[in-house]
Amino acid sequence: MTNPPSITIMGLGYVGLCTAVSFASKGFRVSGYEIDEGKVEQINSGKATFFEPQLDTLLERSLRNGFVASRKIMPADIYFITVGTPSKADGGIDLKYVRSASHDLGRSLRNSDGCRLVVMKSTVTPGTTEKVAAPIIQAESGKAVGKDLGLVANPEFLREGSAIEDSLKPDRLIIGEMERKSGDTLLNFYGTLYRNRMPEVLRTTPVNAELIKYANNAFLATKVSFINMIANLCQKVPGADVEVVARGIGVDNRIGMAFLRAGPGWGGSCWPKDLRALKTAFSESGVEAPILDATMEVNESQPFRLVEAAKELLGDLKGKRVAVLGLSFKPDTDDVREAVSLRVIGALLDEGAKVSAYDPAAMENARKVLGGKIAYASSSVEAIKDADCCIIMTEWSEFGKLGPEDFRSNMKNLVVIDGRRVYDPSKLSGMRYAAIGLNRTQETRILGGG
């Protein structure tokens, strides 16, 4: 093994590319294996394949540091598997990319010598690293895993929108080692990467590491569904406001402030898929998961609360123009995978409304899903022009800058439904405003009637 070790990242999707450039920008010799030729070319030309803050700058720096994407697996000391694990129809995860990456990697290691380490970063159900990846790598490489070749499950916790930051400053490292030596090798690498900012480390078995990742996402989703459930009650209790309730419980450090922002529900490429996979793991083990069921159930109905609010304020939505601000599943990303905006738009269209939408980054991706069903505006002001109602779906910072004047001078009907609590209702006097988790009795009081 060279010092510092050389790295190959297997799969340049979200986690793979962000991980690759984070390592390469710190001076490590990194290459990326990717089977999609178009992606390889685009990355090597310095253009990231998706939007993520800081990514373009880091990619440029990485390419200068010798990072290269390739359809071949470049020999390295440490291989990180970062391929996708999409949902199957039954809710379980499809391991075809894990299998093919393990196969390709095993093949490429057949004639190599020296001690190598393989790190499973993809989110995989318990047992996958040892029972699926290890036998394939072993069979294809002719090397004994745990002896000639190390294998560690090391789940990734980066968030879209802050992926680079999370990758460079993680709060913990979960090292699921099959044997001590592999864990030591990976920790040595992380020691060189993070130096005096070494995060907290938990060393455990691969199965526990795999479970930690699922339990982590499921717990956070439960926290959000919980506050969304409380928000729904707040809306019915005169004078109640979920923001205040969330602040009040969040200061209890046993609960914590994070992930208590009530909204129209959670989406994205990870939580929905991971919760379905976890649910399948429970079912397959014959264990009930009522909390998981409730977390998913709350999330199923949550987006439609916004449509209900629009109907309450406007009556029949048939023929009404509704502006939807925000299409990505959260701010600072162009990702619309399982975004709740798509479900809200679907429901609005079913009600006969005409939708005009705007998002600072996700227009192209939304267009691929929604096609000609809605109108695409080039700015938030254009989206609200002549609208009967404006629904805030994603808390992009630029939406918060829209002031009462923008609404007054552009909208036909002054109705704002704030799905993300972007506005201070006291500054929207004269407008009809409804928000997640805010009782309208209070709104009436603040706005002085109407």
Residues serving a catalytic function are: 270
**CA atoms of 199 and 53, how far apart (whole Å):** 22
**CA atoms of 189 and 79, how far apart (whole Å):** 12
Determine the angle formed by the axes of helices 206-234 and 242-250, rounding to 10 degrees: 140
Q: Is 121 in the site for ligand UGA (CB under 6 A)?
A: no
Strand partners, 69: 32
Task: Phi first, then psi: give them for residue 57, nearest 5 degrees.
Answer: -65, -45
Strand partners, 372: none
Binding mask 6-45 for ligand UGA (x = CB under 6 A): ----------------------------------------
Q: Considering the complex, what minimum distance in angstroms separates the CB of residue 161 from ligand UGA?
A: 6
Q: Considering the complex, what minimum distance in angstroms separates the CB of residue 158 from ligand UGA?
A: 5
Backbone dihedral region for residue 341 (phi beyond 0: left; psi -120 to 50: alpha; all else: beta): alpha
Binding mask 44-73 for ligand UGA (x = CB under 6 A): ------------------------------
Q: Determine the number of helices (DSSP H) and then strands (DSSP E) in the chain.
A: 19, 14
Binding mask 160-179 for ligand UGA (x = CB under 6 A): x-------------------
Q: Under a CB-based contact definition with an 8 Å cutoff, are residues 419 and 262 in contact? A: no
Nearer to ligand UGA, 160 or 443 (CB): 160
Length of the chain equals: 450
Residue 422 structure tokens? 């972007």
Binding mask 252-291 for ligand UGA (x = CB under 6 A): -------xxx-x--xxx-xx--x-----------------
Q: Is 80 in the site for ligand UGA (CB under 6 A)?
A: no
Nearer to ligand UGA, 50 or 157 (CB): 157
Q: Considering the complex, what minimum distance in angstroms separates the CB of residue 268 from ligand UGA?
A: 4
Q: Is 157 in the site for ligand UGA (CB under 6 A)?
A: yes
Q: What are the DSSP calls for 165-182, one per residue? A: HHHHS-SEEEEEESSHHH
* Angle ∠(208,213,218) on CA atoms, nearest 5: 120
SS3 147: coil
Nearer to ligand UGA, 261 or 321 (CB): 261
Residues 176-235 that bind ligand UGA (CB under 6 A): 217, 220, 224
Q: Which residues bind to ligand UGA, rule: CB under 6 A? A: 123, 156-160, 217, 220, 224, 259-261, 263, 266-268, 270-271, 274, 329-330
